[in-house]
Every structure is written in C-alpha cells, then in structure tokens.
A and B are shown apart, each in its own frame.
Chain A
Amino acid sequence: MRVRRTKLECVILSAALVAIGVWAAPDRASRLVSVQQLPDGSDWCMADESSATNPSSPSPDEKILFSALRRDPYSTLVFAAQFTTPNVAEQERQAAEARAHGARTPVRTIRDTAPTYSAIAVDVNSNEVILQDNNLWEYLVFDRLAPTPTRSDEITQPKRIVKGDKTLIEFNNGLYVDPVSGDIFSVESDTGDKMVRFPRAAEGDVAPKAVLHTPHRVYNLAADEARQEIFATIEFPPQVVIYRKDASGEEKPLRTIEGDDTGLDAPHGIAVDEKDQLLFVSTWGHHSNFRIAGTGRWYPPAIKVYPLAAKGNVKPLRVITGDRTQLDWPAAMKFNPSNGDLYVANDIGQSVILFANAAKLQGDVPPARVIHGPSTRLRNPTGVALDLTHQELWVSNLGNSSATVYPLMANGDVPPLRIIRSAEESKRGVNFGRTAAVTYDPIRQEILVPN
C-alpha cells in the first residue's frame, strides 16, 4: 500500500534503509554503504511544496520503526543518513539507459551549462574566494588573486570544486565561511531544507562534516563570531532563525525572530554588526498570513534593523525604505565594522549600494555610494563579501557566471580590479532557479519559464 509519510518519517525510514546496509557490512563500521533509490512513482519524500493530499496511515511495522528511531534520533546510523541524497548520477544513468532502449529524447533543451553564482565568500587566511553555484549544485574555490582571463572565451580555473551526491548540495544559496577555521557553511533555498558544512580543504564528491536540518525556504546566512551563532533568513513563513554555529542534525534554533510586529516581509539578505550589536535584514515586502485568507499585501523593499539579541515578535529599531534607497530585490548584505558601512547586493538595480553609518540610518535615505554601470560588469548581483585585509569588495553575479572585485571604497561606474569568470565574457545566464512550471505563447512562439 502506498502511504503518504511526513518528511520526518521519510527521513527516518531512509535512514533505516541505509542502516540495514551499514549493519550488514562485514566490519559493521559506521559508514555509508549505499543509498538505494526509493521506488519511483510513489509520493515518497516529496519536498514540502510538492506534496499533496490524502494522508494515509503507515503500516504497523513502520509505526514501530518510526517510534523507535524517534526515541534515538541522534544515533550514529540515523544521523549518518538522515538526509536523502539528490541522487543525480543515478537519475542521469537511468535516463541514458532508457533512451538507449528507445525512449524519446528531447529535441531541444534550454539549460545553463555554466554556474549560476548566487553567493560569495572570501577566506583571507587561505587567500581564496568561494563561489556558490545554484545551478550545477556545487561550490567552487578560486585563488583570490587569479588574474582576469585575457581571452573573451577563456575561463578562470578553480582550485577545488565540491560537488556530487555525497556532498548533499542541492539548490545551494546562502554561504558563510568561518574566519578562523575556514569551514564552509552552505544552505539551500528549497527541496532538502538543510545546511551542510565542509572543512576548508574539502574537494570533490565528499560528505559534509556536519548537516543541520533547517526550515524550508532559507535564503541567506550571517554569523555572530563573538557568540558563535549563525543566523539564517527564511523567506516564508518569514523569520530569522539563530542556531549555535556548530549545530547539527535536528538541533533546534536558540531563538527565532518572527511575528507580525517584526516586519519580516519576505526576508532575504542578512548582516551582523557585532560592534553596535545590531542585525540588518533586507525584505522584499511580500506579506501574508498563510493561515488566513485574503491577508496578502505588498510593502516597499526595506532594510530592517534589530537588536542582535532580538527574539520573538519584536519591532525593528529602524527601517530604511523608500525610493531614494534604490532597493530592488535586495539580496546579500555585509557590514564593515571598521567604518559602519553596509553593502547591499541589489539584484535588479544591477548595482551594489552602500549605506554609510548604517547603524544610525532610518527612512528614505540615499546610499552613500553606488557601484553601477557598464564598466562594473555587474549583472544581477546577489552576493557580496568584504576582504578587509586587502580592502576589497567581492561581488557574485547571478546573471553572467562571474565574480567581480573592486576597491572597498569604489563608487560609480568603476571597472573591476579582477574578474573570476566561469563562462565566456559575453555570458548571459538563464538565471533558472528551479523550473517547476512552464507555459507557451503561441503568438510569439515563445516559452515562458517562471522561477
């Protein structure tokens, strides 16, 4: 009988299946032996947004199993396999095999074969730049001083790539690098609802050193290094969740910021100001209570400022919003503690906007500096990173498979100091972010793809 299982049950049962394989191994070592693909066609383990109707009860045996595993959720075996793998390689293999046996092959495929860089971080200790690829489900590590490719068709070679089913990376979006250990934190915006953590030197198809189950729809990460806390924005239901930086498994947040008074209307970027003990969150303005019909509305985009220790349904201390701010789908943010500047990757504004003295700002204030224009090579910037050691500002460009670096105090239509490029110079990415719907315009013979 086919049953609808909760996500936790899916996770637990997946773990149990793997556990059987582990215990069956001759040396009974706690290692992952194999992950079997679950029967295709069931409604098993659908992502939350994908699941549907008609729950059925699990079998008596499954109830016993779920109950037992819930009592000991952190056992080695369960923990080792509590997150399902993307299973990309197996899916591709099965498709190729079916086509070889006469299955229909697509006559055309629209896809991006280059990375889509959604976020960026700098590790000044290793002199490396880390780029989050939301399209091919990987992150790439580059030399910070890699020269700009000289030929238009040349690309920058990465030092390392972390990619593959073992990494558990899928739709990875938010990125944080520990300034001391160099550990890389990667969080996804859909499907698997998890944050994975790798050591600095990780390379290839390797398992993460830690996995944390997060809420659905995470966008971005920031950290309070003094308190060893990591912050994540959740687009909806809107909230900021704060975990111990070393949290893993099913560990719960230390606290959350959520509720009608918070003004967290589709939160995206997040930045920590440890000096002034403040938290900055950018919002797009989409508002509703999913429990109550007809509560939807839109507010202007904004940056909301909270006490760093805020908890629960707290009002922001200050709100930066209005036409003069130039905010337009504001994405990642970074705070410069040495001078109080707040940098904002301004996706649709095709700019990086900089608010000086951000801890004190309020209302409809213009940015102090704006990096924008054709010389900047910015295209859909969604990630920013500050290298205060070398006084550089790094930007990841969602729209052209590149990262561009500028002087920290750059302003106006300035060319980048260097460019990391993972596609030809003229690249324009398709910016797909999970193609789950499509329609066709027969008038213009065009395909319309929403993200």
Chain B
Amino acid sequence: MNHPQIAIFARSAKEDTPYLRSIEGQKSLLGRTMHDIAFDAIHDELVVTSPLAQAILSFRGAANGEEAPLRAIQGDKTQIKGVGATGKVSIDPIHNEIFLASPDQAILVFDRMANGNVAPKRILSGPDTQLSLGEQREGGGNVPCIRIDPIHNLLLVPVGGYGGGKVLIFDRTASGNTPPKAVIQGPVRMGNQFEIYAPKLRLITHTRNNIEIWKIPESGVSTEAPLKIPAPLGRQSGDIGIVLDPLHKEVIIATAAGNNIMTFSVPEVFDDWPAGGPLTSAAPVR
C-alpha cells in the first residue's frame, strides 16, 4: 500500500521472478488501497478502484507503466462513498456493467463505458434486500466483495463479514428494494475476495486455512456444507484475495500479510464431482 502499483506477472512466475510490467505513478490515478480488482477478458480491460479519490478506474488490459486509465467514474452524481469501503468492484463483461458495493447499504451499478461524473444506471438498496455491507468508519471500514454470474444471471453479495455470514443471491438485474431470490446460509467465511465458477454454480473462498467450495442455489435457502480442502498459507492475514484460472484448474491466492501470491492446483473447483462429492486428501484445518 505504500507503493500502490498493479504488478503483472507471468502465470508461471515463482519466487523472486520480477513482474513483466507495472501500472503506477501519478498519471495512473492509482492510490491505496486496492482491495479488489477485476479483469474483463471480453473487452481486454481491467477495473479497479482508487479508494482515496472515490473513483472507479478502467485500464487497457495491456496497460504498462505510467499510463492513464481509459475511463474514470468519479463525482457527486456517482454516489460513490467511502475510503476503505470503496475498495470492492466487480464487472459483468457480458452485460457491460460495473458493480460497486457502498457503505450506504447499496449496490451501485454503472454502465461499463461510463466515464466521468455519471449516475449509477440502477441501485439495489432497501430493507427487503437484507444488505448489510459494512460501514465506513474513521480511518477504516470495508464492504464485502460482490460477484456476478452472467450465465445464470445472479448477483452474489455476502453479508456478515469475514468471520462468516450468509451470501445473498439476487437476480443480476435486481434494483430498488428487492429481496434476494436465494441464500447460502453459511456461515461462509472469506477474505477480501471470493470467486465463483459460474459453469458449475460454485462459490469459492479461502478461509486462512482451507479452500471452501460452496454450491450456489438459484432459489431458496441452502444449508449444504461446503467442500473444504486444506491449503494453509503460512504468514497471512484475514483479508485474503482469490481468483480462478479455469484453464489450468488452479486457484490463485493473495495472502495479504503474507505478502505473496500462492497458486494451488484445485481441480475439484472445476470438475464434475462423483456421486457423494469429491475425495480430498486431508482433513480440513481447524
């Protein structure tokens, strides 16, 4: 956070492998602390927030060095609020939308091509939504990561914090005071980010010690337990990042305080499961 670059590494990078390129510097408009980042493989762009300036930035996928963003959403019409709480952003590249969770207990949805001081195209908020997105406090606070399943048209929003809570599942296009259509009862523990594997309707988190795979219901309340795969990180903290590489069946973890990136081979996330669920090689770490 003292050098808020975005460093880009080859997938095969290991210890002490330098980054291939880095997005950095005043022109990039980047600043601390980026708690989430999304890559749009359809349009070859990446999306991130600049929390201290209450902004959403979109860069070329191949951005390099001190490069300005293609677009920046910022200003009084945006309703973007918070500093730590501005950290989480997600993208639906198929339907051309950017999602941002707000400490005002709202999900703001912007057009992907929005630029400048623009209002959200829709807002999900209200008591029936059951949204409980954290709060902005003096010097801190955070909101949960949100993710979109563009195949099944779902919006997934955790409530309850890192320690474990529910995951609310809305229709992707839900707006206003709309209740969730499904719930993973949990408790679903997670760090800064979680991921979904939409083709199999699976939600994946890392909980400091285990990779957990949850089934995503499209309706009703699911109380099904997750598959837990022990994958300890060593030095780490709770605000862990996670992303999937479906082609290589890998789960990539950012270990926060561990200050490193670990890649695990986890075919269970991507493969069909035999009846009774996949076998695992070890008991979950408590």
Expressed in whole angstroms, the minimum distance between the Cβ of B103 and any Cβ of chain A is 9
Q: Are A450 and B34 in contact (CB-based, < 8 A)? A: yes
> Which residues of the partner chain A approach B135 to less than 8 Å between Cβ atoms?
53
Please tell me which one of the listed residues A102, A118, A235, A437 contacts residue B35 in the complex, with CB atoms under 8 A apart. A437
Q: A52-B142, A135-B259 are in contact. Are A449 and B7 (CB under 8 A)?
A: yes
Expressed in whole angstroms, the minimum distance between the Cβ of A319 and any Cβ of chain B is 16
Expressed in whole angstroms, the minimum distance between the Cβ of B225 and any Cβ of chain A is 15
Expressed in whole angstroms, the minimum distance between the Cβ of B91 and any Cβ of chain A is 10
> Which residues of the partner chain B approach A433 to less than 8 Å between Cβ atoms?
1-4, 259
Q: Are A108 and B12 in contact (CB-based, < 8 A)? A: yes
9 contacts between A and B (CB under 8 A): A112-B15, A114-B16, A287-B52, A290-B83, A435-B261, A436-B33, A436-B34, A436-B240, A437-B34
> Given known contacts A437-B34, A451-B33, what 18 new A-B pairs fall within 8 Å (CB)?
A49-B33, A49-B35, A52-B144, A53-B144, A86-B235, A91-B235, A103-B231, A106-B253, A217-B32, A286-B52, A290-B85, A328-B26, A382-B2, A435-B255, A442-B246, A446-B9, A447-B8, A451-B1
Q: A91-B236, A191-B257, A235-B32 are in contact. Are A106 and B263 (CB under 8 A)?
A: yes
Complex CA gap A106/B236 in Å reads: 14
Complex interface residues of chain B between 129 and 159 (CB less than 8 A to chain A): 132-144, 159
Residues of B within 8 A of A (CB): 1-20, 22, 24-26, 29-39, 41, 44, 46, 48, 50, 52-55, 61-62, 66, 74-85, 87, 102, 104, 117, 132-144, 159-165, 189, 191-193, 207-209, 211, 229-247, 250, 252-266, 281-283, 285-286
Residue A181 CB within 8 A of the other chain: no
Please tell me which one of the listed residues A50, A112, A291, A440 contacts residue B244 in the complex, with CB atoms under 8 A apart. A440
Q: Are B265 and A450 in contact (CB-based, < 8 A)? A: no
Complex interface residues of chain A between 35 and 56 (CB less than 8 A to chain B): 40-44, 46-54
Please tell me which one of the listed residues B80, B238, B254, B283 contacts residue A296 in the complex, with CB atoms under 8 A apart. B80
Interface residues in A, total, Cβ within 8 A: 104
Complex CA gap A237/B52 in Å reads: 9
Q: A235-B52, A290-B82 are in contact. Are A95 and B238 (CB under 8 A)?
A: no
Q: Are B10 and A445 in contact (CB-based, < 8 A)? A: yes
Please tell me which one of the listed residues B3, B80, B230 contacts residue A431 in the complex, with CB atoms under 8 A apart. B3
Tell me if A's interface is mostly helix, strand, loop or mixed.
loop
Tell me if B's interface is mostly helix, strand, loop or mixed.
loop
Complex CA gap A286/B33 in Å reads: 12
Residue A228 CB within 8 A of the other chain: no
Q: Are B4 and A451 in contact (CB-based, < 8 A)? A: yes
Q: Are A86 and B257 in contact (CB-based, < 8 A)? A: yes
> Which residues of the partner chain A approach B259 to less than 8 Å between Cβ atoms?
111-112, 135, 432-435
Q: Are A216 and B139 in contact (CB-based, < 8 A)? A: yes
> Which residues of the partner chain A approach B32 to less than 8 Å between Cβ atoms?
217, 235-236, 451
Q: Are B80 and A285 in contact (CB-based, < 8 A)? A: no
> Which residues of the partner chain B approach A396 to less than 8 Å between Cβ atoms?
none
Complex CA gap A266/B140 in Å reads: 15
Q: Are A40 and B38 in contact (CB-based, < 8 A)? A: no
Q: Mark A353-378, 1 if CB is under 8 A from B, else 0.
A: 00000000000000000000000000
Residue A134 CB within 8 A of the other chain: yes
Complex CA gap A30/B75 in Å reads: 54
Residue A226 CB within 8 A of the other chain: no
Q: Are B76 and A294 in contact (CB-based, < 8 A)? A: yes
Please tell me which one of the listed residues A134, A191, A292, A428 contacts residue B81 in the complex, with CB atoms under 8 A apart. A292
Complex CA gap A288/B209 in Å reads: 36
Complex CA gap A234/B84 in Å reads: 14
Q: Are B34 and A111 in contact (CB-based, < 8 A)? A: no
* Nearest B residue (CB) for A99: B232
Q: Are A435 and B84 in contact (CB-based, < 8 A)? A: no
> Which residues of the partner chain A approach B207 to less than 8 Å between Cβ atoms?
41
Please tell me which one of the listed residues B76, B142, B165 contacts residue A51 in the complex, with CB atoms under 8 A apart. B142
Please tell me which one of the listed residues A108, A285, A442, A447 contacts residue B26 in the complex, with CB atoms under 8 A apart. A285
Q: Are A437 and B55 in contact (CB-based, < 8 A)? A: no
Q: A99-B232, A297-B53, A435-B255 are in contact. Are A113 and B15 (CB under 8 A)?
A: yes
Complex CA gap A429/B22 in Å reads: 12
Residue A180 CB within 8 A of the other chain: no
> Which residues of the partner chain A approach B246 to less than 8 Å between Cβ atoms?
442
Q: Are A446 and B7 in contact (CB-based, < 8 A)? A: no
> Which residues of the partner chain B approach A4 to less than 8 Å between Cβ atoms?
161, 163
Complex CA gap A46/B256 in Å reads: 12
Complex interface residues of chain A between 83 and 104 (CB less than 8 A to chain B): 86, 88, 91-92, 94-96, 98-99, 101-104
